Amino acid sequence: MRTAWLVLIAAFVAVAGVAALIGRQATRPLPALSLTADLVSVQKASGASFSWPQAREAAVTVSGLSAKWSTSQQPVVPIASVTKIMTAYIVLHDHPLAGDAQGPSITVTQADFQDYQSDVANGNSNAAVAAGEKLTEREALEALLLPSADNVARMLANWDAGSRTAFVAKMNALAKSLGMAHTTYTDPSGLDAATVSTARDQLILVDKAMAVPAFADIVSMPSAVIPVAGTVRNYAQVVGTNGIIGVKTGSDSAAQACWAFAARRLVAGQERIVYGVVLGAPLYPPSPVANALTGGVSLADQAHKMFQQLTVLPAGTVVGRIKVPWSKAEIPVVTARPLAGLAPSGATIGLQVRIQPPSSSFLAGQQVGSVSVGGLVTTSTAGLVAQGASGSPSLTWRIFHP
C-alpha cells in the first residue's frame, strides 16, 4: 500500500512539473522579430547640364540650395580684380557698416596720392584722390568695388592692417578658414598675377560676401559719387539690369576676362539668387570683360533648367522584410506613399531607412519605420508599413519552440 502511495505521489509531482513547464513555455515572451533589408539603389538625378561659356573655368550655385555645378577642369589661375572681393570682405569684417552708415574717415596720405599717380601712369584701374582728402569707409569701398580702383585697394589694406604684407596674411588666413584650398593671395588688388584661385574657391567667397548687407548694397550700385573722383561707374555695366545685382569683374593679360556675379532668377519655383564665377574668358577690346559678362548672364539664365521633378521611391516599394519565426513568413515592409521632390541635376540622392520591428505581433498596414531622402531641394520623408500581419503563434509552437 505504501508503495502504491509513493507511485501516486511521484506521478502527481511529474504531472505538476510538466504542467508548470507548459505554463512557462506558453507565457514566456516571444522572441524578437528579425529584419532583413532589401538593397534600395541610390539614384543620381539626370537632367540638363550647363552650356558653359568659353572660359578657363566656371562655377555656379543657387541661394538656399546646396547644389553646386562647375566645369570639370578647375586650374589654379590668376583672378585679377576679382581679388577685391576678399579685400572688401576683410575690411567689412574688421570695420562693419550697419545700414547706410558711412563708417570712419580715411585720410589720403601723400604716399597714397603718389600711388594713385603711378596707377594712372601704368594704365591701371584707379579712382582719383588728393593728398589730405578724407574718404569714408563706404566711399572707399565704392571706389574699390565699382571702378575697381587698385590704388584704393592698397590704401584700404594699409588702413586696415597697417601694411600690405599684414593685410595679405589676413587674406590667406581667411581663405584657408573658408575652405578655399586652391587660393593664394599676394596683393590686395589682384594686379599681381601670382594671386591665383579657382572658380569653385571664389564661389565660396561670393556666397559669404553677399551675405554682408553693406557689401551686397555696394556691388548692386551702377554708379556712385566719390569726393574727388566724382561719379564712378560700375565696371560691370550690366549691374542694375536683367536682375543682375553684382558682384565683381576683373581683367588683365594674365587673368583674361573674369566676373563673379549674382543675379535674381526664378529657380525651383522661387525667386532666388544665382551666384557664379567665370574665370579666363577671352579678353577683347574695347570692353575687356564683355565675354565674361555675357557668359555669366547665360549661366544665370540656365539655372532654372538644372532641376527636375524626381520620384525616388514609388508607393509600395519594398525596402525590407520582417521575419516571423512562428510562421516562417517574411512580411514585406513598404513605403506608405511616394517619395518625390525637386532634384538638382547631377545630385546624388541618398536614402536613410529606419525600421524598428515590433516587439511582438503586428497588423497589416501598421507603421514599422520611416525612410527619408536627401539630395532633394527639400527633405522628403515617408512612413514604412508592414504589408501583411504577423499572426499569433500557436500553443504548440510556444511549447515546443526552443
Dihedral through CA 186, CA 188, CA 190, CA 193, nearest 10?
A: -20
Listing DSSP states for 142-188 in one string gives HHHHSS--HHHHHHHHHHHHSSHHHHHHHHHHHHHHTT-TT-B-SSS
- Grid cell 586650374 is found at 75
Q: Which three cell numbers stand for residue 77?
A: 589661375
Q: At what angle do helices 150-161 and 84-94 cross, to 10 degrees?
A: 30
Q: Tell me if residue 266 falls in helix, strand or coil.
A: strand
Structural domains in the chain?
A: 28-44+310-400 (no CATH), 57-281 (3.40.710.10)
User: Residue 315 — φ and ψ, nearest 5°?
Assistant: -60, 140
- CA distance linking residue 164 with residue 187, whole number of Å: 7
Q: How far apart are the first and last CA of the chain?
A: 41
- Tell me if 147 sits within 8 A of 127, measured CB to CB: yes
Alpha helices per DSSP H over 275-352: 290-302
Rg over alpha carbons for the chain, rounded to the nearest Å, is 34
- Kindly give the confidence (pLDDT) of every residue in the chain, 402 residues in length, as a single tens digit, with 9 standing for 90 and above: 556 554 454 444 444 443 444 444 444 455 556 555 554 555 555 667 899 999 999 999 999 888 899 999 999 999 999 999 999 999 999 999 998 899 999 999 999 999 999 999 999 999 999 999 999 999 999 999 999 999 999 999 999 999 999 999 999 999 999 999 999 999 999 999 999 999 999 999 999 999 999 999 999 999 999 999 999 999 999 999 999 999 999 999 999 999 999 999 998 888 999 999 999 999 987 789 999 999 999 999 999 988 888 888 889 988 888 888 877 788 888 998 888 888 888 777 777 778 777 767 788 888 888 888 877 777 788 888 988 888 887 777 767 666
- Tell me if 260 sits within 8 A of 183, measured CB to CB: no
- CA distance linking residue 371 with residue 289, whole number of Å: 49
